[in-house]
């Protein structure tokens, strides 16, 4: 991490989130901001380093698996450090008493001072029967919301808890939160800047390869060391038993969701389908009831970035499909889980180098590269010069009926444009520049033909190739391909 001139650590990216925080800090009314997102994504770091410390700043973080007594004792210690220079104070036995003390001290302060209260890992603070949520609601309504200089930030990694108890709450805190921030992983450009600040020099192609393993999670990226190659880093972090990502998957889901075994079951079922699965099929395959709790779990997984809901081109709105959108999840289920289950034994530091170049490794890379592209579809649209045209992003697949001689077709990315045209994108991952030979040219032409026949599309069709290593120009590429998107475009 780099230090700014003020000695504070630099925040990479997060422009929209920093703007939101600056806006609420400057506002002339009380603000209640809920920040959520998956574990390790940098929520606490963002808040700590975006908030000016010129006013009064009080921070208390929940203790994982701590009981109510431990949480209150920690709160009082932080309270004493902020308002009483660390003098030992009489402990409280309730959140009502703790918030009463906090309110008393706040009211002593000049109204010109900004008062910022940050309750980090709120789900851990809110132990069962602690009445924290009820008291938070009470003090916000009766005291804190009346103070225009008061800004309350709450944060938590337990996505289901944050969504159900705060953001989508139907009880006491319903409609109390004035702003929400869903903190997402870094994109490729932010990942590159993060690694540069750590003095880790990788080509853009290497960064894409790394992103396909762990995504843009800052804490994961921070495990890399500059003195090791990318292959060595991935081996040590993912395939050694003391590596962070070797056993991160179960911890990650347990920290995010209540009854996480159901979320894991859903994710594993979706991951079995390379090109997504329909909602109705997912209900059947998971032996679930299609009712509210199943939909809530899907919404929670989507909110945390593990899955993506999409509507295939030509389908009705009720025919939603789901696909895995988290790179680490795909990587873990494909490679690490097999080792933990005893199906494979990694041998030597070059284990990842060998399997990443195997047919199975290249097939995995092709599918995961599509996931990366979907996350950077805005960059793709800009590279295709379509950013000033309305676009609907979709996916299309046709499987002919059994025992027919019809051809099927799979379209990786489809851009339905408002200018009476459709751009069909072929996404190709390869180690070398991709070559369209005669046989592959026939595949592409057949794909366009099947699409036109089955969709009855009347719009003009364009073909774009999105490649990991560029496209080699030849007679076939010149005839078929209208636009090419390369890795450099994804970093813009």
Predicted confidence (pLDDT) per residue in 27-86, tens digit: 999 999 999 988 899 999 999 999 887 789 999 999 988 999 999 999 999 999 999 988
Predicted confidence (pLDDT) per residue in 343-387, tens digit: 777 777 788 989 999 999 999 999 999 999 999 999 999 999 999
Contacts of 238 (CB under 8 A, 6+ apart): 213, 214, 245, 246, 331, 335, 336, 352
3-state secondary structure the chain: CCECCCCCECCCCCHHHHHHHHHHHHCCCCEEEEEECCCCCCHHHHHHHHCCCCCEEEEEECCCCCCHHHHHHHHHHHHHHHHCCCCCCCCCCCHHHHHHHHHHHHHHCCCCCCEEEEEECHHHHCCCCCCHHHHHHHHHHHCHHHCCCEEEEEEECCHHHHHHHHHCCCCCCCCCCCEEEECCCCCHHHHHHHHHHCCCCCCHHHHHHHHHHHCCCHHHHCCCCCCCCHHHHHHHHHHCCCCHHHCHHHHHHHHHCCCHHHHHHHHHHHHCCCCCEEHHHHHHHCCCCCCHHHHHHHHHHHHCCCEEEECCCCCCCCCCEEEECCHHHHHHHHHHHHHHCCCCCCCCCCHHHHHHCCHHHHHHHHHHHHHHHHHCHHHHHHHCCCCCCCEEEEEEEECCCCCCCCCCEEEEEEEEECCCEEEEEEEECCCCCECCCHHHHHHHHHHHHHHHHHHCCCCEEEEEEEECCCECCCHHHHHHCCEEECHHHHCC
- Residue 463: strand pairing partners: 424
Predicted confidence (pLDDT) per residue in 225-234, tens digit: 999 999 999 9
pLDDT value for 4: 30
Instruction: Tell me what the mean pLDDT of segment 315-320 comes to.
Output: 79
Q: Using CB atoms within 10 A of its CB, is residue 289 exposed (0-12), middle (13-18) or buried (19+)?
A: exposed
pLDDT value for 225: 95
Cβ pair 141, 105 in contact under 8 A: no
Cβ pair 211, 187 in contact under 8 A: no
pLDDT value for 344: 76
Q: Using CB atoms within 10 A of its CB, is residue 4 exposed (0-12), middle (13-18) or buried (19+)?
A: exposed
Does 172 have pLDDT greater than 90? no
Q: Using CB atoms within 10 A of its CB, is residue 339 exposed (0-12), middle (13-18) or buried (19+)?
A: middle
pTM of the model: 0.91
Instruction: Tell me what the mean pLDDT of segment 173-195 comes to.
Output: 92
**Pairing mode, strands 115-120 and 56-61:** parallel
Mean residue pLDDT across the chain: 91
Give the relative orientation of helices 260-271 and 292-303 as an angle to the nearest 10 degrees: 70
Share above pLDDT 90 across residues of the chain, in percent, rounded to a whole number: 73
Distance between CA 373 and CA 415 in Å, rounded?
13
Distance between CA 179 and CA 124 in Å, rounded?
21
Contacts of 28 (CB under 8 A, 6+ apart): 148
Does 1 have pLDDT greater than 60? no
pLDDT band at 130 (very low <50, low <70, confident <90, very high): very high
pLDDT value for 436: 95
Looking up tokens 């490794």 gives 361
Predicted confidence (pLDDT) per residue in 391-434, tens digit: 999 999 888 888 788 888 999 999 999 999 999 999 999 989 99
pLDDT value for 86: 85
Does 99 have pLDDT greater than 70? yes
pLDDT value for 212: 97
* Gyration radius of the chain over CA positions: 25
**Domains (range + CATH), the chain:** 15-182 (3.40.50.300), 186-375 (1.10.10), 376-490 (3.40.1350.10)
Instruction: Tell me what the mean pLDDT of segment 283-301 comes to.
Output: 87
Out of 109-118, 169-178, 331-340, 454-463, which region has the weakest mean confidence (pLDDT)?
169-178
């Amino acid at each position: 991490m780099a230090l700014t001139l003020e000695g504070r650590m630099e925040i990479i990216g997060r422009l929209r989130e920093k703007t939101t925080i600056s806006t609420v800090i400057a506002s002339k009314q009380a603000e209640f901001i809920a920040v959520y997102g998956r574990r390790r994504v940098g929520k606490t770091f963002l808040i700590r380093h975006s908030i000016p410390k010129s006013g009064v700043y009080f921070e208390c973080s929940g203790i994982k698996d701590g009981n109510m007594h431990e949480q209150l004792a920690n709160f009082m210690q932080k309270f004493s450090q902020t308002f009483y220079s660390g003098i030992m104070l009489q402990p409280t036995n309730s959140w009502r008493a703790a918030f009463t003390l906090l309110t008393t001290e706040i009211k002593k302060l000049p109204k010109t001072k900004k008062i910022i209260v940050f309750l980090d890992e709120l789900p851990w603070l809110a132990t069962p029967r602690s009445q924290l949520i009820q008291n938070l609601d009470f003090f916000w309504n009766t005291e804190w919301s009346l103070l225009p200089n008061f800004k309350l930030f709450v944060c938590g990694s337990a996505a289901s808890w944050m969504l159900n108890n705060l953001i989508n709450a139907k009880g006491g805190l319903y409609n109390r939160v004035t702003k929400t921030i869903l903190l997402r992983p870094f994109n490729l450009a932010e990942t590159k800047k993060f690694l540069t600040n750590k003095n880790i020099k990788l080509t853009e192609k290497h960064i894409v390869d790394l992103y396909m393993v762990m995504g843009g999670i800052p804490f994961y990226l921070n495990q890399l060391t500059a003195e090791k190659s990318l292959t060595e880093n991935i081996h040590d972090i993912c395939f050694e038993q003391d590596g962070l990502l070797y056993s991160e998957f179960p911890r990650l889901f347990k920290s995010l969701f209540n009854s996480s075994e159901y979320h894991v079951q859903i994710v594993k079922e979706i991951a079995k389908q390379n090109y997504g699965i329909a909602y109705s099929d997912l209900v059947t395959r998971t032996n679930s009831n299609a009712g509210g709790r199943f939909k809530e779990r899907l919404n929670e997984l989507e909110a945390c970035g593990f899955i993506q809901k999409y509507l295939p081109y030509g389908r009705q709105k009720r025919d939603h499909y789901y696909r895995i959108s988290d790179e680490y999840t795909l990587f873990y289920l494909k490679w690490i889980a097999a080792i933990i289950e005893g199906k494979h034994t990694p041998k030597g530091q070059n284990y990842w180098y060998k399997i990443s170049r195997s047919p199975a490794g290249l097939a995995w890379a092709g599918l995961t590269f599509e996931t990366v592209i979907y996350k950077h579809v805005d960059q793709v649209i800009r590279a295709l010069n379509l950013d000033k045209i309305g676009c609907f992003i979709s996916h299309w697949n046709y499987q002919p009926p059994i025992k027919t001689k019809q051809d099927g077709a799979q379209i990786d990315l489809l851009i339905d444009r408002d200018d009476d045209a459709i751009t069909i994108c072929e996404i190709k991952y390869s180690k070398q520049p991709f070559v369209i030979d005669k046989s592959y040219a026939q595949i592409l032409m057949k794909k366009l033909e099947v699409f036109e026949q089955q969709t009855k599309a009347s719009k003009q069709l364009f073909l774009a190739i999105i490649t990991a290593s560029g496209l080699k120009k030849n007679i076939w590429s010149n005839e078929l391909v209208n636009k090419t998107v390369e890795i450099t475009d994804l970093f813009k």
